[in-house]
Amino acid sequence: MTEAKDLRGQLRAEILALTAARGPGKSICPSEAARAVRPEDWNRFMTETRRVAVQMAEAGEIEILRKGKPIAPDEVRGVIRLRRPVTGL
């Protein structure tokens, strides 16, 4: 259980770091965070990465995009991207 909690914390931190580095209005692919945390077997962690992203979106930390438009966390399916919330644009 601790390992899973550590992984979620690492993924959250990486998503925050990558979206901040990308800049306002720019997005990242969830796989970028998974690759940064577990480069040798990142693909195994994509489901968990998406779960973390949904939790972060529910908390208002990030937005989840599909086809360039924000979607509700409960609508996540298919190809998505992540970005910091955009305000005042």
Rounded to two decimals, what is the model's pTM? 0.91
pLDDT at 4 over 90: no
Asked if residue 49 belongs to a domain, the reply is yes
> Number of folded domains in the chain?
1
Pairing of β 69-71 and β 81-83: unpaired
Q: Is residue 45 part of a domain?
A: yes
**Residue 88 confidence class, pLDDT cut points 50, 70, 90:** low
In angstroms, what CA-CA distances link 53 with 13, 27, 66, 68, 88?
11, 13, 13, 16, 23
pLDDT, tens digit (0-9, with 9 covering 90-100), for 36-84: 999 999 999 999 999 999 999 999 999 999 999 999 999 999 999 999 9
Domain of residue 31, residue span: 2-83
88 found inside a domain: no
CATH number of domain containing 28 = 1.10.10.10
Q: What is the pLDDT of residue 77?
A: 92
